[in-house]
Amino acid sequence: MIYLDNAATTLIKPVSVGRAMLRAMQECASPGRGGHRAAMRAAELVYRCRETAAELFHVPDPSRVVFTMNATHGLNIAINSLVKEKTKVLISGYEHNAVTRPLRQRGAEIIVAESPLFDSEACLHAFEEQMGQAGLVICTMVSNVFGFILPIRKIAALCRARGVPLIVDASQAAGVLDIDFQALGAAFVAMPGHKGLFGPQGTGLLLCGQEGEPLLFGGSGSDSLLQEMPGYLPDRLEAGTHNVPGIAGLLAGMEYVRERGAEKIMDQECALLCTAVEELRDFAGAELFTGQEGMQSGVLSLRVRGMDCDEAANQLSERGICLRSGLHCAPFAHKSAGTLETGTLRMSFSPFVSESELRLCCQAIRELSQRKR
């Protein structure tokens, strides 16, 4: 199998991740639910994961690192905390449904800072023009469809200057880009554990600059007499039993990122991106969506001329090659790029993808197109 769908989930993970999860299942009980050794081991593991995340993302207090099920869960907490009916929310033209659907549900007035693909200056200018009418800004750091790296630091500076709260979706950035929570000054930053952090599905992190409003209510292992959620983080936003094996795997994944370095991982993925572009650039059967150096992460969207994207993905799957096709849960991004009617075929990289595997994938794409024509 050649796996090139890492923007959805990094299926191939460091060996340490699975080992940590198995050990946690065998040795750890529930944190905060007892003083016995199994419960204390769980509590220590969970806190160590918070500390590691705080160090990796420059969060001054580990208690402001909240565990979630995924980035969608974290974004829902953030949006539930800051958005009321008719709140004017300014978003980029590259947001995921994990942002736009909760906004619709809350009755927000959505304003889109529209800009062309891979044009950072136009993106920033669009935010500048419409910032005055926004009560909240939500922006992704990297488009999950095209790998477009948005100018989040400059957008964050605009928000701070205007006193507008900012929610950041770091789903495609965590593990490959430097995320400085303190420097951003964001109200919330949400990220999944199962992508660039190499954790298992069912894990995520929400970095909290504000206290936040609970989305779930229940046991927290603290203040059990209260019939309200505790007023302090992280307990306030973590109702119910923690996913301790998942958190153990997430910790191992973040330790891998810390040891390798996000910059080196990004360089390796961008080298694979360059290889894919070189293999397909001169091939008339493929339309590539690429930006200048420094504007794109290890994600490449393309269309195979004369072929439906789903058809292409299915035929590649029959050859053991895993790519994703369609709208990738991000219709706003496709509208911005002019691909809403067709969607795209997306290949996305990780440090566990080899150059030879990638070349085989590109050869298969050429063969599909030539056979179709």
One-letter-per-residue 3-state SS of 137-201: EEEECECCCCCEECCHHHHHHHHHHHCCCEEEECCCCECCECCCHHHHCCCEEEEECCCCCCCCC
Residue written as tokens 């992704």?
140
Q: pTM for this structure?
A: 0.96
Instruction: Report which residue type is found at 42.
Output: A
Mean of per-residue pLDDT scores for the chain: 96
Give the tens place of pLDDT for each residue, 138-189. Answer: 999 999 999 999 999 999 999 999 999 999 999 999 999 999 999 999 999 9
User: How much of the chain exceeds pLDDT 90, in percent?
Assistant: 91
**Confidence tier at 373 by pLDDT (50, 70, 90):** low
Q: Each residue of 288-347: pLDDT tens digit?
A: 999 998 999 999 999 998 899 999 999 999 999 999 999 999 999 999 999 999 999 999
pLDDT for 226 equals: 84
pLDDT at 51: 98
Least confidently predicted of 62-71, 105-114, 289-298, 363-372:
363-372
pLDDT for res 282? 86
Question: Please, what are the domains in the chain?
Answer: 2-10+261-372 (3.90.1150.10), 15-260 (3.40.640.10)
Question: Cα–Cα distance between 275 and 26 in angstroms, integer?
Answer: 43
